[in-house]
A and B are shown apart, each in its own frame.
Chain A
Amino acid sequence: MKIEASSLSFSYGMGKVLDSISFSAQDGQAIAVLGPNGVGKTTFFRCLLGFLKPSEGSVIVDGRNVNDYTRRELAHKLAYIPQSYSPAFNHTVLDSVLMGTTASMGLFQSPGKPQIDRAMAALDSLGIGKLAHRPSLKISGGERQLMLIARALVQDARILIMDEPAANLDFGNSFHVSSRIRNLANKGYTVIFSTHDPGQAYRYANRVVCMQGGRIIGDGKADEVLDEAMLNSLYGVKTAVRSIEVNGRSYKVCLPI
Chain B
Amino acid sequence: MKGREKYRLRFIILALSAVAIFLLSFFLGRYKVGFSAVIKILLDRLLRLISLDSWSMQQSWTAAEASVVASIRLPRIGCAALVGCALSVAGACYQGMFRNPMVSPDILGASTGSGFGAALSILLGFSYAATAVTSFASGLAAVLVAWLISRKSRMQTSVAMVLSGVMVGSLFQSGTSFIKLVADTESQLPAITYYLMGYLSSVKAIDFRLAVVPILIGFVPLFLLRWRINLLTVSEAEARSMGVETGRLRFIVIMCATLMTSASVSISGMIGWVGLVIPHFCRILFGNDYRRLIPSCALLGASFLMLVDDLARIVATSEIPLGILTSFVGAPVFILMILRGGSGHED
A interface list, Cβ under 8 A from B: 46, 49, 51, 70-76, 78-80, 82, 85-92, 95-96, 99-100, 102-103, 105, 107-111, 133, 135, 137, 151, 155
B288 touches A91 (CB 8 A): yes
Range of interface residues on chain B? Answer: 35 or more
Which of B11-19, B234-242, B259-267, B297-305 binds A?
B234-242
Q: From residue A87, how far is it (CB to closest CB) to chain B in Å?
A: 5
For residue B244, CB closer than 8 A to chain A, the reply is yes
Asked if B245 contacts A70 (CB within 8 A), the reply is yes
- List residues of chain B with CB under 8 Å of any chain A CB: 1-3, 95-96, 98-101, 224-228, 230-231, 233-235, 237-238, 240-245, 283, 287-289, 291, 343-347
Q: Of A51, A88, A103, A151, which is in contact with the most chain B CB atoms at under 10 Å from its CB? A: A88
Given contacts A72-B243, A89-B343, A133-B1, 8 further A-B contacts (CB under 8 A): A49-B241, A51-B240, A71-B245, A75-B243, A89-B96, A95-B230, A100-B242, A133-B2
Q: Are A102 and B291 also in contact (CB < 8 A) when A108-B225, A111-B227 are?
A: no
Contacting pair A88 B96 (CB below 8 A): yes
Chain B facing A: main interface SS: loop
B231 touches A90 (CB 8 A): no
Nearest 8 interchain pairs by C-beta:
A103-B243, A75-B243, A88-B99, A80-B241, A89-B288, A110-B227, A108-B224, A72-B243
- A73 neighbours in B (Cβ, 8 Å): 243
Q: Let me know if B237 and A51 touch, CB within 8 A.
A: yes
Q: Which residues of B contact A79 (CB under 8 A)?
A: 241-242
Set of chain B residues within 8 Å of A88, measured between Cβ atoms? 95-96, 98-101, 233-234, 343
Partner of A80, one of B95, B225, B227, B238: B238
State in angstroms the CA–CA spacing of A88 and B342 once bound together.
11
Chain B positions within 8 Å of A103 at CB level: 242-244
Tell which of B1, B227, B243, B346 touches A109, judged by Cβ atoms closer than 8 Å. B227
Q: Which residue of B lies closest to A157 (CB)?
A: B241
In the bound complex, CA of A202 to CA of B224 (Å): 49
Known A87-B234, A88-B233, A89-B101; judge A99-B242 contact (CB<8 A).
yes
Question: Which residue of chain B is the closest to A84 with respect to CB atoms?
Answer: B235
Q: Which of B225, B226, B283, B346 has the most CB of A within 10 A?
A: B346
Q: Which residues of A contact B3 (CB under 8 A)?
A: 92, 133
